[in-house]
Chain A
């Protein structure tokens, strides 16, 4: 990316001054190296987001930002309903509330190494993964609507987990204001037998070991120590969320054209927050969030069953659950005032700093756990929301590494079997239904997540707590 048009504020904040249609500046948090490697499209998309009505402060991009649709992946933007602000289906994306959940196991690396192959096989047998997979549950009618209203809270009531799980999920496991009536029959049909499924692509369930601790106090607060084994689940709202995105993107594109709104990019299609369409989308999108939370709750239950088969006395309490494709109504300080804003995070993680009232008491001194996904052979990270990040990108941080190359290029370079064998030689067991899927998701097809995390910390977005190395990965 050409850097001359940016004003640098310290080594890790790059301002794109407002010009042309932009109502506010754009700000990208990244190192010079990450900036230079970013596609020009990221700056173009940040500028386009900055042109949307009612945007507050700036259009932000995280260190892992890359070319998305309308919004960049890694984009953050907040809108004020009272100033004509909008909600954008493209600003949330197709995989509503895609996110990461991490579970403690109480096991050490030595415990797991002794039974690793069996654990991998049992997890793979119990976790539905990949194209065409279905869950054991069938949902329709009132049952589907109850799930869409209740999220993980519904799942716990149905026997998937316990009340204690809910305290360690954003919004205590249930997004308020979900409206199942705003979700199309097609979306519900797509979800009928997809509850408790991992999906495909970059979604996974991974058994990981804490291989380094960077902040002892925060790690203690999160219950982590070097050598501990955890489980991380990366997935989202499955077919229901995808169809909500499809339905509302189309409706917003047509509504914007009919209203004479010229969008710099149709994928930015949006509706005023104070409009029937905007409110309907919020109701549907929140139902999508609840679907994702319920899905991760059921997958947690399946992981617990699998672990119990191999390690009979082990429990898997939740460390935390974050969503990184959302629009959430939050209070943020802007200048001297506190304002209710609708914060879009597309490929970005909420990162409340220490003391935030919405954090569980046990995490309040450390800040919110920020769970950063890896890519089979590479590390994942646990960060903590940094003090004062409310002023920086509306308390947001990165979400992952981002692809370094296209899927077709990865397919040209690697064969899935060779990737699996190579990782096995490094002690990482992969279980996947598709060799091609593994090749497309080869670790080197992704950027260096360590560089992204370093930049997030140096930009003051979130602080490093622990690095996780993969032991077993069930890949969709």
Chain B
């Protein structure tokens, strides 16, 4: 699993990649945390379950990131480890995950900006010819 953020004029993009779709989604989630603070500084102490479903993979990525934004906002937590499972079903795709993290500690984490939501801008979930899955979109901060 690999992750990175990428530039957008007003905001910032998040991108994850890996050998599996689940790894790419986990990478995008790590990049989401990196928008806010250094993921390496967030202890994976407490698990939070997340589930979502969508008719296509791109919408599933937006739903996944927005579910994490919601959990971060309402639990006042940051996450650094993501165990993700994605399955196809009759309605499209279903994601079940456990996000591991800890409560926001402003002095230690130095969180820069909260993420308002995941957008459809630069949204893509692709399985490249090299076999690598990439999942990305721009998030509003």
- Asked if B48 is at the interface of the complex by the 8 Å CB criterion, the answer is no
Contact of A190 among B59, B73, B140 (CB under 8 A): B73
Question: Which residue of the partner chain, among B12, B37, B119, contacts A408 with CB atoms under 8 Å?
Answer: B12
Whether the pair A437, B113 counts as a contact (CB closer than 8 A) is yes
Residues of B within 8 A of A476 (CB): 113
- Known contacts being A66-B10, A68-B10, A409-B7, is A190 close to B114, with CB within 8 Å? no
Q: Report chain B residues within 8 Å CB of A90.
A: 120
**Minimum CB distance partner of B70 in chain A:** A186
Is A435 touching B55 in the complex (CB atoms < 8 A)?
A: no
In the complex the two chains form, is A200's CB within 8 Å of B10's CB? no
Q: Is the CB of A199 within 8 A of B140?
A: no
Residues of chain A lying within 8 A (CB to CB) of residue B110? 433-437
B117, A266: Cβ atoms under 8 Å?
no
Least CB distance from A100 to B in Å reads 17
CB atoms of B140 and A440 under 8 A apart: no
Check A436–B8 contact: CB distance below 8 A.
no
Counting CB contacts under 8 A, is B106 at the interface? Answer: yes
Q: Restricting to A398-417, which residues have a CB under 8 Å from any CB of B?
A: 402-403, 406-409
Tell me, in angstroms, the Cα distance from A457 to B55 when the chains sit together: 48
Distance A69 CA – B106 CA, assembled complex (angstroms): 30
A265 contacts across to B, CB distance below 8 A: 120
Give the shortest distance, in Å, between B117 (CB) and chain A (any CB). 4
Residues of A close to B119: CB separation below 8 A: 69, 94, 249, 267
Give chain A nearest CB distance to B33 CB in angstroms. 11
Is the CB–CB distance between A267 and B121 below 8 Å?
Answer: yes
With both beta carbons as reference points, the residue of chain B lying nearest to A437 in the complex is identified as B112
Flag if B121 contacts A95 (CB, 8 Å): no
Q: Which of B84-114 contact A (CB under 8 A)?
A: 104, 106-107, 110-114
> Are A130 and B111 in contact, with the CB atoms below 8 A?
yes
**B121 near A69 (CB under 8 angstroms)?**
yes
The CA of A69 and the CA of B9, in the complex, are separated in Å by 11
1/0 per position for A129-167, CB-CB distance to B under 8 A?
011101000000000000000000000000000000000
Q: Which of B4-36 contact A (CB under 8 A)?
A: 5, 7-12, 35-36
Q: Are A201 and B113 in contact (CB under 8 A)?
A: yes
Rounded to whole Å, the gap between the CB of A406 and the closest CB of chain B is 4
A122 to chain B, nearest CB (A): 19
* Chain B residue contacts of A403, Cβ below 8 A: 9-10
How far is B73's CA from A242's CA once the two chains are assembled, in angstroms? Answer: 11
A222 to B70, CA, bound (A): 41
- Cα(A92)–Cα(B104), bound, Å: 30
Among B9, B55, B69, B120, the residue within 8 A (CB) of A249 is: B120
A465 to B15, CA, bound (A): 44
Within the complex, the shortest CB–CB distance from B77 to chain A, in Å, comes to 9
**Contact in complex: B120, A433 (CB < 8 Å):** no
In the complex, A90→B7 CA distance in Å? 20
Shortest CB distance B91–A (Å) = 12
Question: Is A3 among interface residues, defined by CB-CB distance under 8 A?
Answer: no
Q: Do the beta carbons of B70 and A67 come within 8 Å of each other?
A: no
Give CA–CA (A132, B11) in the complex, Å.
Answer: 20
Within 8 A of B (CB), among A257-315: 265-267, 269
Cβ B120 vs Cβ A94 within 8 A: no
A190 adjacent to B70 (CB under 8 Å): yes
Q: If the complex has contacts A186-B70, A200-B114, A243-B70, are A67 and B106 also in contact, measured as CB distance less than 8 A? A: no
A53 within 8 A of B: no
Mark each residue of chain A from 187 to 225: 1 if its CB lies under 8 Å from any CB of chain B, else 0. Answer: 001101000000111000000000000000000000000
Does B66 sit at the interface, judged by CB under 8 A?
yes
Indicate whether B45 reaches chain A with its CB closer than 8 angstroms: no
CB atoms of A434 and B117 under 8 A apart: no
Does A73 lie at the interface of the complex (its beta carbon under 8 Å from any beta carbon of B)? yes
A254 CB contacts on chain B under 8 angstroms: 55, 59
Q: Please give, as numbers and ranges, the residues of chain B lying within 8 Å of A439 by CB-CB distance.
A: 112
A406 to B37, CA, bound (A): 16
Decide: A436 and B37 in contact? CB cutoff 8 A.
yes
Nearest to B139 among chain A residues (CB) is A94
Query: With the chains together, A33 CA to B118 CA distance in Å?
Result: 32
Contact partner of A433 among B5, B7, B12, B106, CB < 8 A?
B106
| A93 to B138 CA separation, bound complex (whole angstroms) | 13
Collect the chain B residues with CB atoms within 8 Å of residue A189's CB: 74
CB-contact partner of B112 in A68, A239, A245, A440, under 8 A: A440
CA distance A117 to B62 in the complex (A): 44
Known A94-B116, A406-B8; judge A132-B63 contact (CB<8 A).
no
**In contact, B141 and A201 (Cβ under 8 angstroms):** yes
Residue A250 lies at the interface, judged by CB distance under 8 Å to chain B: yes
B residues in contact with A434, CB < 8 Å: 106, 110-112
Considering only CB atoms, which chain B residue lies closest to A42 in the complex?
Answer: B9
Contact A246/B117 with A69-B138, A201-B141, A437-B112 known, Cβ cut-off 8 Å: yes
Chain B residues within an 8 Å CB radius of A190: 70, 73-74
> A94 contacts B10, CB within 8 Å?
no
Q: How far is the CA of A439 from the CA of B37 in the complex (A)?
A: 13
Min CB gap B53→A, angstroms: 12
Minimal Cβ-Cβ distance residue in A for B4: A408
Residues of B within 8 A of A433 (CB): 106-107, 110-111
B57 within 8 A of A: no
User: Apart from A66-B9, A249-B117, A407-B112, what are 8 other A-B pairs with CB-CB below 8 Å?
Assistant: A67-B9, A70-B120, A131-B112, A201-B141, A267-B119, A407-B35, A437-B111, A440-B113
Question: What would 7 A/B residue contacts be, using CB atoms closer than 8 Å?
Answer: A41-B9, A67-B8, A67-B10, A130-B106, A132-B104, A253-B120, A265-B120
Q: Which 9 A-B pairs have the closest CB atoms?
A: A131-B111, A132-B104, A406-B7, A242-B116, A201-B113, A67-B9, A437-B112, A94-B116, A266-B120
